[in-house]
A and B are shown apart, each in its own frame.
Chain A
Amino acid sequence: MWDLSTSALDTAKLRGATCADVRVMHLRQRDLTTKNGQVGTLAQSESLGLGIRVLANGAWGFASTDRLTREGVMACAAQAVSIAKASALAKRSDVVMAHEDAYIDSWQSPFRKDPFEIPLETQLDRLLAADAAMRIVKGVTLTETGMQFRKIDSWFASSIGSCIHQSKVITGCGIAATSFQGDEIQKRSYPNSFGGQHSLQGYELVESLELLKHAPQIAEEAAALHSAPQCPEKKGTVILGGSQLGLQIHESVGHPIELDRVLGQEANFAGTSFLTLDKLNNLRYASDIVNVVADARLDHGPGLGTFAYDDEGVPAQCTDIIREGQFRGYLSNRETAHVVGLQRSSGTMRTESWNRLPIIRMTNISLLPGTWSFDDLIADTDDAILMETNRSWSIDDRRYQFQFSTEIGWEIKNGKKAGMLKNPSYSGITTEFWNSCDAICKLDHWTLWGTPNCGKGQPMQTMGTGHGASPSRFRNVRIGTAFSKQ
């Protein structure tokens, strides 16, 4: 692979590029699903190709190819330079890149069991057993299970002399039961919606989830939701389960801190951000107990945003985003770091595949654990609704106003879980919501959740991001608006 990269870099330089980086990537994926006791999808894919990004005449060009011959790669590099020169026809200023050192390194994400080596029969048996355990519950009308495995090898080389090979194994797994009765469809998922939990692990993730043990419970909850009372419409206290809070972090912290959005580069599609540059170090984003980091290092955990180097050749870092409630940092790259006074990128450039340009992306954007045990938090709460497992999510294009609904709610009365509520939802304004946080559970309840389906960029790229969170309490929140009949 390094020979191909060298050919591409040499051609780019010869054609007039002043800076270039090349990614050769080999992606392998396996998908298994079942539905109502039958195998649904059973598919495997691989994709191998090369993408090259160049600066020429002060502007960017990118081209990609799956023709991995010397001639194919040289043609691709020449095309990238030609595109960059066309970009320069409509540039306003030259691109300036922050300094970065050159690295020669190789990194393999840790895993215990290679999912591609586990017999398919074993994998399907596990899914079909969970599927059957859900189907025997009366009232369940649809059962779904799934596993997804990926291996991604990338060879990064740049004109400053970096040669970095990274190899990742990613696993996802989950189950869901749906119940249609009367004029309602209710659904429960385990351990999360979006196909379950996803992380930078091997088959050991699947084994740790104990699908068969949890299948009857979620099936029973799906059926029971029909007879549960409707979540009321009011202002009050909400306790969010860890996976729902992970998505709240994703939408109302992770996206607004992307510096490309802040600078208007996503204005036509993903939107902009309320976190204009004047807010850095000047905004009380959240209450004092809230600390959020962007941490791509393995020390943070095996998240979907964990790596050794980003796709611009910058080492993984931990950046303070919110420290004791104050807004402290953005996600940046080599091109934008100087805008916020940084000498160096925060290492967040990521690409979906060899045929996509790296863009600023969330890594693991996590709420650091607090001090509460979950039992103490419930016992300390007089009147609240505990909301678990995301059902719908939406936020405006500057990331102020949001609304989420979850699959299930639980009424908390006088320090105890009182009863199930259906169709729970809550909404609010980002900074008001985060400033109302008054309790965060401790590390024992903290999970690094994986969001596998974050869409951004044109052409669209789907990226996995990580979000560590533990159950937390928020006061004076608007509840039940999604189902308001007004």
Chain B
Amino acid sequence: MSPNRKSQKRAKGQGSAPDEALSAQSELRRVIEAVLRIAKSTDSEETEVHVDETCDALTRFANNAVHQNVAEHGLTVSVRTVVDGRTARATTNRMDEDSLRATIQASLSLAQSQPKDPRLLPLPGRQRYRSVNRFVKHTAALTPEDRARVVRRACDLAITNGQVAAGIYSSGQSQMAMGNSRGLFAAYRQTRAEFSITMQEDPAASWAKANSADVRNFDSQKLAARASEKAHLAANARQLEPGRYTVILEPAAVLDLVGFLFYDFAATALEDKRSCLNDRMGTQLFGKNITITDDVYHALQLGAPFDGEGIPRQRVALVERGVPKNLVYARSSAKRAGKKPTGHGFTLPNEYGEAPMNLVFSGGDSSLEKMIASTDRGLLVTRLWYIREVDPYEKIMTGMTRDGLFLVENGCVTCAVRNFRFNQSLIEMLRNVELLSPSVRATGEEAFEMVVPAMKVQKFHFSEVTKF
């Protein structure tokens, strides 16, 4: 039963390139069919199988040298059984037949232990999916030596500039496939590369980061140079008084803040009355320059074109000109609301329902340079840190600025500023957006990647200042 990944993948069409460490898709389908066949001989009335495979590597550096360097490979099989109106899930990474049989039985035992769920839906049948191609051989082919050489160049730049570099360079490939006893089958694979760097010029620091399915879409050395230049500018920070400031948020700062809004667009969150959109759908909640869609098919997005039940993901207009218009639905929340599922459900069973995972903000025609030039007095924010929700309905978020906060005066960046704590309502913030740049794929540390613009925002609330 154990997929003989190396030998089989190289003998077949898909997955035959030497730079692919993943099993052939046919191998994943074989595992799914094997589980479905075994399940037929059990009490399971309906069965759903997910197979996930990852092959990732990450080179980590600090103090201008590599200090951690890791690689992993993993394959898991997850089985959901349905019996007499009850369902549960069991997962294993052991591929022998006995283990798969035990996993099916574990799922059945869990399912049979609970009361009937009158809202449980039958599994969906076959679906049609729009194809997306997010597997890039250049990324898949990256080796530890390739990563070490890139890191070495970045560290050399730091040394030349009298700075200290820390960061990561990672690359990986992953795939998932799912099938069920009603004939549904879906599969997806992607690559991913990421470079993140912090340049420290004690006591100042700055940061830059990018990721993509295609490693050729970013230039690591340019990111290192940008972080280095900003770290130098960040030295000799002045202390300003807390208060309300005009801020220019770089895309990473926008991303990490607005990332906290995504679950509010889940139909289940509204049903549970834990969304800030309760009693606010269809109102002019944000400024008219705010339009948000969820679009897995956007050229700058990553992710599978189907959800945890295998339903095709739809493009959903969440906010149009500041008005929340639509929610996303899994099958069950859609049925309860009398809507069609949008393909955003999590794997079942779960209590959270669904969420949009591929947010795309419509941008504007400004730029960081234009925003700075148009500002009499304000703050340029590189990045935010440790953002947490203070008030779930007004959507007040707290957090810190980090790795480069700069004062803008009379249209120019004039000096660095000590980091502030903010307590800011996201709803209020998205009412106060004055300018937007074109949207880009942004990556931070608090939210998953999105396509967002830089924003110039009025009256952003900083409540306290720290010591650096």
Chain A residues in the interface with B (C-beta under 8 A): 33-36, 38-49, 51, 59-67, 79-80, 82-84, 86-87, 89-93, 119-121, 124, 128, 141-142, 144, 178, 180, 183-185, 263-269, 271, 274, 355-357, 391-398, 400-401, 403, 405, 423, 425, 427, 429, 458-459, 478, 481-484, 486
CB distance A42 to B88 under 8 Å?
yes
Q: Which of A144, A391, A392, A400 lies at the interface centre, i.e. has the most chain B CB atoms within 10 A of its CB? A: A392
CB distance B166 to A394 under 8 Å?
no
Task: Chain A residues near B57: list those with CB within 8 A.
Answer: 83
Task: Chain B residues near A264: list those with CB within 8 A.
Answer: 62-63, 164, 166, 200
CB distance B390 to A89 under 8 Å?
no
CB distance A401 to B400 under 8 Å?
yes
Question: Could you list 29 A-B pairs, sorted by A, with CB under 8 Å?
Answer: A39-B117, A42-B110, A43-B91, A44-B89, A46-B92, A60-B67, A60-B69, A63-B72, A64-B71, A86-B59, A90-B152, A92-B65, A120-B110, A124-B115, A141-B272, A264-B63, A264-B164, A264-B200, A267-B62, A267-B198, A274-B467, A392-B398, A395-B386, A425-B390, A429-B466, A458-B168, A459-B70, A478-B464, A481-B423
Distance of A353 Cα from B205 Cα, bound (Å): 32
Interface 9-mer from B140-148, B292-300, B368-376: B140-148
Q: Which 10 A-B pairs have the closest CB atoms?
A: A40-B351, A120-B113, A86-B144, A401-B466, A267-B166, A180-B273, A45-B91, A92-B65, A42-B88, A89-B148
A43 interface neighbour in B88, B147, B196, B207, Cβ under 8 Å: B88
B389 interface neighbour in A271, A392, A397, Cβ under 8 Å: A392
Task: Chain B residues near A180: list those with CB within 8 A.
Answer: 273-274, 278, 393
| Residue ID in chain B nearest A128 by CB atoms | B115
Tell me whether A124 and B113 are in contact in the complex, defined as CB-CB below 8 angstroms, given that A44-B91, A268-B167, A401-B467 are known contacts: yes
CB distance B88 to A86 under 8 Å?
no
Given contacts A403-B421, A423-B391, 12 further A-B contacts (CB under 8 A): A43-B349, A44-B110, A83-B57, A86-B69, A89-B148, A120-B114, A274-B467, A396-B419, A400-B466, A429-B467, A482-B398, A486-B463
| Residue ID in chain A nearest B154 by CB atoms | A90
CB distance A83 to B198 under 8 Å?
no
CB distance A142 to B272 under 8 Å?
yes
Task: Chain B residues near A393: list those with CB within 8 A.
Answer: 388
CB distance A49 to B93 under 8 Å?
yes
CB distance B396 to A62 under 8 Å?
no
CB distance A87 to B148 under 8 Å?
yes
CB distance A405 to B64 under 8 Å?
no
CB distance B70 to A83 under 8 Å?
yes
Task: Chain B residues near A64: list those with CB within 8 A.
Answer: 70-74
CB distance B56 to A89 under 8 Å?
no
| Residue ID in chain A nearest B280 by CB atoms | A183
Is B432 interfacial (CB 8 A cutoff)?
A: no
Chain B residues 261-277 with CB under 8 Å of chain A are 272-274
| Residue ID in chain A nearest B194 by CB atoms | A458
Task: Chain A residues near B392: list those with CB within 8 A.
Answer: 185
Is B318 interfacial (CB 8 A cutoff)?
A: no
Task: Chain B residues near A401: list those with CB within 8 A.
Answer: 400, 419, 421, 464-467
B242 to chain A, nearest CB (A): 8
Task: Chain B residues near A89: list those with CB within 8 A.
Answer: 66, 145, 148-149, 152
Task: Chain A residues near B65: list those with CB within 8 A.
Answer: 90-93
CB distance A394 to B421 under 8 Å?
yes
B66 interface neighbour in A90, A266, A458, Cβ under 8 Å: A90
Task: Chain A residues near B78: list those with CB within 8 A.
Answer: 45
Distance of A4 Cα from B31 Cα, bound (Å): 25
Tell me whether A84 and B69 are in contact in the complex, defined as CB-CB below 8 angstroms, given that A43-B110, A185-B393, A394-B399 are known contacts: yes
Is B60 interfacial (CB 8 A cutoff)?
A: yes
Is B27 interfacial (CB 8 A cutoff)?
A: no
Is B76 interfacial (CB 8 A cutoff)?
A: yes
Is B35 interfacial (CB 8 A cutoff)?
A: no
Interface 0/1 of B187-217, CB less than 8 Å to A: 0000000001110100001010000000000
CB distance B386 to A396 under 8 Å?
yes
Distance of A401 Cα from B64 Cα, bound (Å): 28
Distance of A137 Cα from B357 Cα, bound (Å): 35
Distance of A357 Cα from B71 Cα, bound (Å): 10
Chain B residues in the interface with A (C-beta under 8 A): 56-76, 78, 87-94, 106-107, 109-111, 113-115, 117, 119, 143-145, 147-149, 151-152, 155, 164, 166-168, 170, 196-198, 200, 205, 207, 243-244, 272-274, 278, 349-351, 385-394, 396, 398-400, 402, 419, 421, 423, 445, 461, 463-468
A168 to chain B, nearest CB (A): 19
CB distance B76 to A47 under 8 Å?
yes
CB distance A42 to B70 under 8 Å?
no
Distance of A266 Cα from B166 Cα, bound (Å): 8
CB distance B196 to A86 under 8 Å?
no
A325 to chain B, nearest CB (A): 20
Task: Chain B residues near A93: list those with CB within 8 A.
Answer: 65
CB distance A48 to B386 under 8 Å?
no
Distance of A36 Cα from B68 Cα, bound (Å): 45
Tell me whether A41 and B351 are in contact in the complex, defined as CB-CB below 8 angstroms, given that A87-B148, A90-B66, A271-B385 are known contacts: yes
Distance of A344 Cα from B115 Cα, bound (Å): 55
Tell me whether A66 and B423 are in contact in the complex, defined as CB-CB below 8 angstroms, given that A39-B117, A41-B349 are known contacts: no
| Residue ID in chain B nearest A265 by CB atoms | B62
Task: Chain B residues near A87: list those with CB within 8 A.
Answer: 59, 66-67, 69, 144, 148
B14 to chain A, nearest CB (A): 21
Tell me whether A91 and B66 are in contact in the complex, defined as CB-CB below 8 angstroms, given that A64-B73, A185-B274 are known contacts: yes
Distance of A43 Cα from B79 Cα, bound (Å): 10
Distance of A178 Cα from B145 Cα, bound (Å): 52
Tell me whether A403 and B468 are in contact in the complex, defined as CB-CB below 8 angstroms, given that A45-B90, A267-B205 are known contacts: no
CB distance A62 to B207 under 8 Å?
no
Distance of A42 Cα from B87 Cα, bound (Å): 8
CB distance A482 to B91 under 8 Å?
no
A357 interface neighbour in B68, B164, B205, B468, Cβ under 8 Å: B68
B72 to chain A, nearest CB (A): 4
Task: Chain B residues near A119: list those with CB within 8 A.
Answer: 113
Tell me whether A400 and B74 are in contact in the complex, defined as CB-CB below 8 angstroms, given that A46-B93, A120-B110, A265-B67 are known contacts: no
Task: Chain B residues near A61: list those with CB within 8 A.
Answer: 69-70, 144
Tell me whether A458 and B60 are in contact in the complex, defined as CB-CB below 8 angstroms, given that A184-B393, A267-B198 are known contacts: yes
Q: Which of A178, A185, A483 lies at the interface centre, i.e. has the most chain B CB atoms within 10 A of its CB? A: A185
| Residue ID in chain B nearest A391 by CB atoms | B390
B432 to chain A, nearest CB (A): 15
CB distance A44 to B106 under 8 Å?
yes
Distance of A135 Cα from B119 Cα, bound (Å): 19
B386 interface neighbour in A40, A91, A394, Cβ under 8 Å: A394
Task: Chain A residues near B168: list those with CB within 8 A.
Answer: 268-269, 458
| Residue ID in chain B nearest A66 by CB atoms | B93
CB distance B115 to A39 under 8 Å?
yes
| Residue ID in chain A nearest B151 by CB atoms | A90
Distance of A67 Cα from B272 Cα, bound (Å): 43
